[in-house]
Chain A
Amino acid sequence: RKEVEQDPGPFNVPEGATVAFNCTYSNSASQSFFWYRQDCRKEPKLLMSVYSSGNEDGRFTAQLNRASQYISLLIRDSKLSDSATYLCVVNSPQDSSYKLIFGSGTRLLVRP
């Protein structure tokens, strides 16, 4: 089983739509959770951290369910500029290192 699993998509939605991405992780000891965004041929950039109680940043809402080892990202009122690949990221606790494991990403296409 992969450490971080995401639906690869693509999700093809019209402008203004609400879209949700899901992610599951395998290590119950993980403590840090993030969503990154990656545009084509560019480096990943942090979109938002995911807190235990859930958190919102404008049109973006992230949720964490530790019992099910599940993370979600909800995008409301989609814009054309939201088209990108969204990466679920989880830390993999180790004694010797702090490392972030990236999911394979979910591709979002927002059409006019």
Chain B
Amino acid sequence: ETGVTQTPRHLVMGMTNKKSLKCEQHLGHNAMYWYKQSAKKPLELMFVYSLEERVENNSVPSRFSPECPNSSHLFLHLHTLQPEDSALYLCASSQDPRQGGSVFSEAFFGQGTRLTVV
């Protein structure tokens, strides 16, 4: 069982569809993240959850809606996306140092969901 699991691995959706990305971590971490990586571009941090509370929203459009029901699960709900939203969406988890983790609290990534909006 891998540390961070994302489903689905690939998703093709139309601009009027609604879909959800799922992330589950088995590492006992208390912080989870959504990153977006467009083709040939750097990772962009989208959302940060610490202890199930959203602590950061990096000016992400409202067509992306995160949900963190518990410290092990993170969802990204998608609706009315645009073709430019096509990208690799990566979930990560870490132990927030402010909640007992080491200052060297690295992030572990899932394998990502490759999203194509048509």
Same complex: yes
Mark A78-112 against chain B: 1 for CB-CB distance below 8 A, else 0: 00000000010100001011111111110000000
B42 contacts A98, CB within 8 Å?
no
Min CB distance A64 to B, Å, is 12
What residue in chain A is nearest B44 (Cβ atoms)? A102
- Chain B residues with Cβ below 8 Å from A46 are 106-108
**B109:A45 contact, CB within 8 angstroms:** yes
CB 8 Å contact bits of A15-28 with B (1 = contact, 0 = none): 00000000000000
From A4, which residue of chain B is reached at the shortest CB distance? B42
Q: Is the CB of B43 within 8 A of A98?
A: no
Taking the closest CB of chain B, its distance from the CB of A80, in whole angstroms, is 22
Q: How far is the CB of A65 from chain B (nearest CB, A)?
A: 18
Chain A min CB distance to B109 (Å): 4
Say if the beta carbon of A31 comes within 8 Å of chain B. Answer: yes
Tell me, in angstroms, the Cα distance from A34 to B107 when the chains sit together: 10
The answer on a CB contact under 8 Å between B42 and A99 is no
Chain B stretch 4-41: residues in CB contact (< 8 A) with chain A: 31, 33, 35, 41
Q: B34-77: which have CB < 8 Å to A?
A: 35, 41-43, 45, 48, 50, 55-56
Residues of B within 8 A of A (CB): 31, 33, 35, 41-43, 45, 48, 50, 55-56, 88, 90, 94, 96-98, 101, 103-112, 114
